[in-house]
Amino acid sequence: MTDHIYAAEHPETTHVRPGGFTLWFTGLSGSGKTTIAHLVGPELDRRGLVVEYLDGDNVRMHLSKGLGFSKEDRDTHVERVGWVASRITRQGGAVITAAISPYAATRQQARDWVESVGTFVEVFIKASVEECARRDVKGLYAKAFAGEIKGF
């Protein structure tokens, strides 16, 4: 059915408000992406910027509900985060994402959208699988290790 859905023919604003950017935090689940985002965001806010967080878990709950962890689902999720980030960046906002985005091609798509209207900064948060599993408050690693989550 989706092959019959077309974008509406309407004028889209071409105005770009200066100063917009996206900080794209990526890394394994539990690596500290959200924690770091919540340290950076208030400082940007203190400096007078309009800050919007696009946390992977929150986006999954609202815009990507029902998506799993297959490559196709992960790509769809990251594309949605990237597209929304580009819309906010275009309006001069400071976007902070914290999303597991393991595939370079999909991150590049997000980068391309954002860089067409502002600045994109990718930050990889490096942490070992063992450390991430130790920090895991959601129990995702235990489920993945037990084979309950495919493609995690």
Strand partners, 95: 22, 52
Q: CB neighbours of 92 closer than 8 A, spacing ≥ 6?
A: 16, 17, 18, 19, 20, 50, 118
Strand partners, 53: 96
- 29, 31, 64, 101: which is the annotated catalytic residue? 101
Known catalytic membership, residue 116? no
Q: What is the DSSP secondary-structure string of 101-112?
A: ---HHHHHHHHH
Q: Which residues are identified as catalytic? A: 101
